[in-house]
Structure 1
Amino acid sequence: SKTWVDKGFKNTVVEHGAALGIDVEVVPRKTGTRGFHVIKRRWVIERSLGWLMLHRRLARDYETLPASSEAMIHIAMIDNTAKRITGETTPTWRDPR
């Protein structure tokens, strides 16, 4: 397993990941660039979190058990994948219809 973290995480995260058998890579910002820019591999996480936030139940922390929250994340990602495979979408309040 491998995970990427931003520079805000210190060596304790790397050490904790090593203890769990996870390769933790710290992704630094580009020093010469100001404002927003895409950072290697970090956009994947931002995009995935954006997809999850489209599901109303995940927009707030309603679940009391971590297993329930994990199940809701699985359901949301299955829904996203099914929409991509079939090309169908369900109307939402964001649709201009």
Structure 2
Amino acid sequence: MDQSQRLLLLVMVTAAGVSDNDAGKQLLTRLAESHPTVTKAWVDTGYKTQAVEHGAMLGIDVDVVPRNAQVKGFSVVPRRWVVERSFGWIMMHRRLARDYETKPEHSESMIRLAMISNLAKRATGETTITWHNP
């Protein structure tokens, strides 16, 4: 996500069996190739040293954002709210509220469409039809 404009830069959907580190390394490689000016990334604790080291090799400073161990249950974690907010926007589109797609490419396309819809909503001030307000 581009924080200043809230634009989606890259989407990558993987099978559930792919580790966070492996997916993270693939994503960072694709990000460095398609957006060479990106120099900073924040990740959750599922990404261990392999992804952080791979990012460093690509010139991307990868910071792991840990959970607040002192708080039980949900708490807002710096930088993590950007991801959670994005998931919320995506889930407003009924087709993405469940895992209906059989191919990762289809899921990626549906996520792009959802984010285009959100961008159009912000640009025009109009609300788009979602499954919450048919």
Question: Which band: TM-score by shorter chain?
Answer: 0.7 to 0.9
Query: Greater Rg, structure 1 or structure 2?
Result: 1
User: 1:78, CA displacement in angstroms?
Assistant: 1.4
Deviations 1:36-86 (A, max 9, x none): 1110010000110121122233342515353x5443322221110111222
Higher strand proportion, which one? 1
Cross-structure match for 1:14: 52
Unaligned runs of 5+ in 2: 1-37
Q: Higher relative contact order at CA 8 Å, sep ≥6: structure 1 or structure 2?
A: 2
Q: Give structure 1 regions of 4+ aligned residues with deviation exceeding 6 angstroms.
A: none
Question: 2:118 & 2:57 partners in 1: Cα distance?
Answer: 33
Normalising by structure 1, what TM-score?
Answer: 0.74
Aligned length: 95
Unaligned runs of 5+ in 1: none
Cross-structure match for 1:62: 101
Correspondences of 1:50-89 after superposition (within 5 Å) = 50-59=88-97, 60=99, 62=101, 64=103, 66=105, 68-89=106-127
Does structure 1 retain, via aligned residues, the 8 Å contact 2:117–2:128? Answer: no
Deviations 1:3-53 (A, max 9, x none): 211223221121122233322101122232222111001000011012112
Question: 1:63 & 1:9 partners in 2: Cα distance?
Answer: 26
2:68 to 23, 30, 33: 30
Aligned residue type for 2:75: H
Name the SS of the counterpart of 2:52 in structure 1: helix
